[in-house]
Structure 1
């Protein structure tokens, strides 16, 4: 059994450090490769990305395959630093990326985990809207770096301070300013704690692959899935790392 983790070139995530951490906790071999979208590029991917675009937060239907949008996705694949501001259906991206995996590596005993510089989401039947996600479990498993900052909700004071500063200066305030002005703990783009926080989200994809289980119900466990940023900080950056049950597996 094997796990392959893919780097993302445009973010603060260190795939090699995450892989070392995983090797200390699981028996399976862990390899690191360059960006998934470079390693397993196919001619169909730009159109498939265009088809996976979320058009509205409240519309289930996705996709805009107009020529200009497909051309944008081609440029984004070639120059990932230019991509951004788009939400993609995570399940649709999985369906698009799975056939790109080589035939010999698509068996159930080999998990591929792609660190992505794209925002991904899943549709909520319970409230009729899209929700950004940090990860999407499955094959390949997707771990969204923008999702780490954007999916779990920050304190309302954060959004208010960001709006106020943007109105005055025309730009978003630096992370250090927001952390000083806003009570509570949260992660923002480029946060130096990004790699540490992502370790648990990558392990969640491996845990699901190994056991068939989803997220842990115990808050504070690295395998839990908090919906607010303070919960993410508590689960991924504070001790203990795991609840009692999962500490037996990964502690």
Structure 2
């Protein structure tokens, strides 16, 4: 039984860990606390090497890792100054293992680091890496940029983004994409980030508490969306939960 949940901030992102913790505290029978950024607190040379070793080299190559000196130095700087990191996908299970080895992780104390890194898992069914929002377990790793990058956006989004970049040389502002693309989706620094990340943190708790992973009902906060419209439906639309999970986690403000 989970008695404590510790949520770690990701200060370079839009995710408000305190707001997420307050929401979670209303729904679970556990003490919920928030601490500062985990990666900065436990950073050492070995952790930088672990991140270097967890780098995804190619979308279709199961092997990971580049521990050359320059890559290790990059990871050291990224741990110290996270605003300098980006453009890399990491094996989420390897990252989880590296954090597990540095934390005391009894099963009654769930630890959930919000991270500013993009994580992925290997798909044996199709022989390629897939970006993920969360890797459940102990600790549970929740990737904030994964909210924007893991679930696929409408095809028109990528076409509009490419056209804008060809004309201007820059990435288009969010409002430009929203005006040109039919359908809702999350983008970097989206003000809805904190709202969207809540369901993944709750899923981490639910998994450790019950052994059940994500819900199969796409209208539930515990649903693991693979496309942006489904993520919007699951995390930002009412009702918040399917009937089964509303009985366990729903409160009146969820619209149940």
TM-score, normalised to structure 2, is 0.96
Match of 1:60 in 2: 62
Match of 2:253 in 1: none
Match of 1:80 in 2: 82
**How many residues get paired?**
248
Q: Describe the superposition over 1:96-129 as per-residue Cα deviations: whole angstroms up to 9, x where unpaired.
A: 111111xxx4211111001000000000000000
Q: Is the 8 A contact 2:45 2:76 kept in 1?
A: no
Q: Describe the superposition over 1:71-109 as per-residue Cα deviations: whole angstroms up to 9, x where unpaired.
A: 0000000010000000000000011111111xxx42111
State the Cα distance separating 1:149 from its structure 2 match: 0.1
TM-score, normalised to structure 1, is 0.98
CA root-mean-square deviation: 0.7
Mapped partners of 1:19, 1:43: distance in 2 = 31
Q: Is the 8 A contact 1:6 1:115 kept in 2?
A: yes
State the Cα distance separating 1:218 from its structure 2 match: 0.7
Tell me the secondary structure at the aligned position of residue 45 of structure 2: coil
1:1-251 equivalences under 5 Å are 1-101=3-103, 105-251=104-250
Q: Is the 8 A contact 2:52 2:75 kept in 1?
A: yes
Gaps of 5+ in 2: 251-256
Gaps of 5+ in 1: none
Mapped partners of 2:105, 2:237: distance in 1 = 35
State the Cα distance separating 1:169 from its structure 2 match: 0.2
Q: Is the 8 A contact 2:59 2:129 kept in 1?
A: yes
Mapped partners of 2:225, 2:11: distance in 1 = 26
Q: Is the 8 A contact 2:105 2:139 kept in 1?
A: no
Could you list the structure 1 runs, at least 4 aligned residues long, displaced by more than 3 angstroms after superposition.
Answer: none
State the Cα distance separating 1:39 from its structure 2 match: 2.6
Tell me the secondary structure at the aligned position of residue 4 of structure 1: strand
State the Cα distance separating 1:219 from its structure 2 match: 1.1
Mapped partners of 2:137, 2:128: distance in 1 = 22
Q: Is the 8 A contact 1:4 1:33 kept in 2?
A: yes
Mapped partners of 2:97, 2:176: distance in 1 = 41
Q: Is the 8 A contact 1:137 1:205 kept in 2?
A: yes
